[in-house]
């Protein structure tokens, strides 16, 4: 075992740039085809809320007027109006929800597509896959909250409240002014107080959810190791700490929601009492008096969502800010403006490679010669930079110094897809999808015949096993390949790699979760099945490599 001169290994810290306020708006900005749907949803929402207010006002006028027993013909119009507003309220609300959700989900789809495209370049070098998943699913879902629970409800409430105040001002200016003051307080002071009391909690909720999702994902993926090392209590304690942080933030948020609701009730109740006092001294009919007193109460439903919207806006801003951090993450690699054609040779050379994350170099001064068809075993402890080297070889990560040459051509002069058409990767956690063996293999080369699938399986020493299964290639493997053993999952992933027909195979800790006997047998089969391909094995267990395999051994220390 030899050391590489000049090699310097340090841990890689993780930092995320903090986005500027409002920088995430372009992520959720609707396309032109969706804007008219949002405008239609706004108009329908105003119609539904206006119908609710008009229903109460008309009902108050009708009941009061009817108490005087006038001719029934005088009551026909308000009777029809009550029916129309009652039916219209439900119809408009239903259509508004239909159109609004359709528009919001279209914006969500566009946003998620943008973020997913960004993940294609960022995810391979990310250290926290669970946090990425939380940003893609939970944080991006904040787009729905933004449009359906913040922007549209606030706009509907403002327009409807303004129309209601105008109506009351026509009936009695003093009462209209009193209600206008109450509405102004409800729309400004109440949400501001609610937001201020919940600000810290709402900002923490998005980050806490990401932490809980990350630790949950990591725990599920490493459950076998956790049990093997008897670390269940430590893992559960760590999870409990993160979950308690999230629960505390949510309790604080709920308390602020209750405060906002209570203040809103006081504003609406105060408006109704003010109208009662002012109307009792005015020269108006009983029916108009009833309208003045009862109509402000209808605003409780219209304005009821504003405190929650103000509070939710903070959470939405924090969540979408996390998404923007992901989008703003610098590209790990820069595609060449004028890429060179892919060379025909398959000799690989690493010359004085320096690479790392943020301000820390993980590898510094690494040099390797890997002729076509050679076997190179690179060993070293966890954190020595083995996976970082794999990322560089597949052009997932840009070197800071030195170069990696393919047949004399710097990988930086080639497109990433060109490089990955030559270099394939098998990791310790190669993903096996919850579908059939056939579908898992077809991911590598869609449309190939069953004969080619069987050839790949037999070359990976998995053919006899699959042949004995009742459903053969159509056997379902379960979530993450749960119905297969660890060695069988790795062989299936290797068969998929062989089917992709890459000339350079990078094997990153393929025996990580296997016992010694299984790991040694797997490596023997992998080297044999590789044929004349170049094999780069990254492992901290070099003793499992078959002794008869000629190889170059490099130690990262």
Give mean pLDDT, residues 15-40. Answer: 71
In this prediction, residue 25 carries a pLDDT of 73
In this prediction, residue 360 carries a pLDDT of 81
Short-list 305, 306, 210, CA closest to 249: 210
Residue 464 structure tokens:
């006899």
Short-list 16, 27, 15, CA closest to 317: 27
Q: Give the lowest-confidence range in 106-110, 468-472, 481-485.
A: 481-485
User: pLDDT tens-digit profile of 275-290?
Assistant: 999 988 888 888 899 9
Higher pLDDT, 111 or 550: 111
- With respect to residue 130, please indicate whether it lies within any of the assigned structural domains: yes
Domain that includes residue 453, residue range: 348-555
pLDDT tops 50 at residue 10: no
What CATH number corresponds to the domain at position 78? 1.20.1560.10
pTM score: 0.67
Residues 401, 362: Cα–Cα separation, whole Å? 12
pLDDT tops 50 at residue 14: no
Short-list 333, 505, 341, 497, CA closest to 418: 341
Helix, strand, coil shares of the chain as percentages rounded to 5? Answer: 65, 10, 25
- With respect to residue 502, please indicate whether it lies within any of the assigned structural domains: yes
Q: Work out the pLDDT band at 325, boundaries 50, 70, 90.
A: confident
Are residues 422 and 305 part of one domain?
A: no
- With respect to residue 11, please indicate whether it lies within any of the assigned structural domains: no
Give mean pLDDT, residues 142-151. Answer: 88
User: pLDDT tens-digit profile of 498-519?
Assistant: 888 889 999 888 887 777 888 8
Give mean pLDDT, residues 373-388. Answer: 85
Q: Work out the pLDDT band at 22, boundaries 50, 70, 90.
A: low
- With respect to residue 339, please indicate whether it lies within any of the assigned structural domains: no
Q: Work out the pLDDT band at 165, boundaries 50, 70, 90.
A: very high
In this prediction, residue 385 carries a pLDDT of 84
Are residues 396 and 473 part of one domain?
A: yes
CA 127 to chain centre: 16
- With respect to residue 40, please indicate whether it lies within any of the assigned structural domains: yes
User: pLDDT tens-digit profile of 58-106?
Assistant: 999 999 888 888 887 778 888 999 999 999 999 999 999 999 999 999 9
Q: Average model confidence (pLDDT) for the chain? A: 84
Are residues 312 and 436 part of one domain?
A: no
In this prediction, residue 164 carries a pLDDT of 93
Are residues 433 and 303 part of one domain?
A: no
In this prediction, residue 16 carries a pLDDT of 41
Number of domains in the chain: 2
pLDDT tops 80 at residue 26: no
Are residues 97 and 38 part of one domain?
A: yes
In this prediction, residue 125 carries a pLDDT of 58
Are residues 436 and 323 part of one domain?
A: no
- With respect to residue 76, please indicate whether it lies within any of the assigned structural domains: yes
Q: Give the lowest-confidence range in 214-228, 361-375, 483-497.
A: 214-228
Q: Which residues, 6+ apart, have CB-to-CB distance to 239 below 8 Å? A: 212, 215, 216, 219
Considering the chain, what percentage of its residues have pLDDT values greater than 70?
91
Short-list 408, 386, 426, 441, CA closest to 533: 426
- With respect to residue 186, please indicate whether it lies within any of the assigned structural domains: yes
In this prediction, residue 479 carries a pLDDT of 80
Q: At what angle do helices 76-122 and 32-66 cross, to 10 degrees?
A: 150
Q: Work out the pLDDT band at 132, boundaries 50, 70, 90.
A: low
- With respect to residue 528, please indicate whether it lies within any of the assigned structural domains: yes
What CATH number corresponds to the domain at position 490? 3.40.50.300
Domain ends where: 328, 361, 380? 328
pLDDT tops 50 at residue 19: no
Are residues 470 and 380 part of one domain?
A: yes
Q: Answer yes or no: are the C-beta atoms of 436 and 476 closer than 8 Å.
A: yes
Are residues 130 and 47 part of one domain?
A: yes
Considering the chain, what percentage of its residues have pLDDT values greater than 90?
25
Are residues 231 and 91 part of one domain?
A: yes
Give mean pLDDT, residues 233-252. Answer: 85
pLDDT tops 50 at residue 3: no
Residues 440, 433: Cα–Cα separation, whole Å? 6
Q: Answer yes or no: are the C-beta atoms of 495 and 441 closer than 8 Å.
A: yes
Are residues 165 and 77 part of one domain?
A: yes
DSSP readout, 461-525?
T-HHHHHTSTTGGG-B--GGGTTS-HHHHHHHHHHHHHHHT-SEEEEESTTTTS-HHHHHHHHHH
Are residues 448 and 322 part of one domain?
A: no
In this prediction, residue 178 carries a pLDDT of 93
Are residues 309 and 162 part of one domain?
A: yes
Q: Which residues, 6+ apart, have CB-to-CB distance to 181 below 8 Å? A: 271
Give mean pLDDT, residues 269-273. Answer: 91
């Amino acid at each position: 075992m030899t050391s590489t001169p000049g090699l310097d290994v340090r841990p890689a810290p993780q930092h995320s740039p903090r986005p500027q306020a409002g920088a995430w708006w372009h992520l959720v900005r609707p396309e032109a085809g969706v804007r008219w749907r949002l405008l239609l949803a706004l108009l329908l929402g105003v119609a539904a809320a206006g119908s609710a207010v008009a229903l109460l006002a008309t009902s108050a006028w009708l009941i009061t007027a009817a108490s005087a027993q006038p001719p029934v013909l005088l009551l026909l119009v308000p009777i029809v109006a009550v029916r129309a507003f009652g039916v219209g309220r439900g119809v408009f609300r239903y259509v508004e929800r239909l159109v609004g959700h359709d528009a919001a989900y279209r914006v969500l789809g566009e946003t998620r597509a943008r973020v997913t495209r960004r993940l294609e370049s960022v995810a391979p070098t990310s250290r926290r896959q669970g946090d990425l998943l939380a940003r893609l699913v939970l944080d991006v879902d904040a787009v729905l909250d933004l449009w359906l629970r913040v922007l549209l409800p606030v706009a509907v409430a403002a327009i409807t409240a303004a129309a209601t105040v105008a109506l009351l001002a026509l009936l009695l200016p003093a009462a209209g002014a009193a209600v206008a003051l109450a509405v102004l307080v409800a729309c400004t002071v109440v949400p501001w107080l609610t937001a201020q009391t919940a600000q810290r909690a709402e900002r923490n909720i998005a980050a806490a959810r990401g932490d809980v999702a990350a630790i949950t994902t990591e725990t599920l993926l490493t459950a076998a190791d956790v049990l093997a090392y008897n670390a269940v209590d430590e893992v559960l304690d760590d999870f409990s700490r993160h979950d308690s942080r999230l629960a505390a933030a949510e309790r604080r948020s709920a308390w602020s929601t209750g405060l906002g609701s209570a203040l809103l009730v006081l504003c609406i109740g105060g408006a109704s009492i003010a109208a009662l006092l002012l109307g009792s001294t005015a020269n108006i009919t009983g029916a108009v008096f009833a309208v003045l007193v009862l109509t402000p109460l209808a605003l409780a439903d219209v304005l009821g969502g504003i405190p929650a919207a103000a509070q939710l806006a903070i959470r939405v801003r924090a969540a979408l800010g996390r998404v923007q951090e992901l989008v703003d993450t610098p590209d790990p690699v820069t595609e060449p403006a004028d890429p060179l054609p892919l060379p025909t040779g398959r000799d690989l050379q690493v010359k004085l490679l320096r690479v790392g994350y943020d301000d820390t170099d993980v590898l510094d001064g690494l040099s390797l010669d890997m002729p076509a068809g050679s076997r190179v075993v690179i060993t070293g402890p966890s954190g020595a930079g083995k996976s970082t080297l794999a990322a560089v070889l597949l052009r997932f990560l840009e070197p800071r110094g030195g170069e990696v040459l393919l047949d004399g051509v710097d990988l930086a002069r080639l497109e990433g897809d060109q490089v990955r058409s030559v270099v394939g990767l098998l990791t310790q956690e190669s993903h096996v999808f919850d579908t059939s063996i056939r579908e898992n293999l077809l991911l590598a080369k869609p449309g190939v015949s069953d004969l080619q699938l069987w050839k790949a399986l037999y070359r990976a020493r998995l053919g006899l096993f699959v042949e004995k299964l009742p459903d053969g290639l159509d056997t379902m493997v379960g979530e993450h390949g749960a119905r297969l053993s660890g060695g069988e999952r790795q062989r299936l992933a290797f068969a998929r790699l062989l089917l992709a027909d890459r000339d350079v195979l990078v094997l990153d800790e393929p025996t990580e979760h296997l016992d010694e006997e299984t790991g040694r047998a797997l490596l023997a089969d992998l080297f044999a099945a590789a044929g004349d391909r170049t094999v780069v094995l990254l492992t901290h267990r070099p003793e499992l490599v078959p002794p008869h395999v000629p190889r170059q051994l490099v130690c990262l220390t």
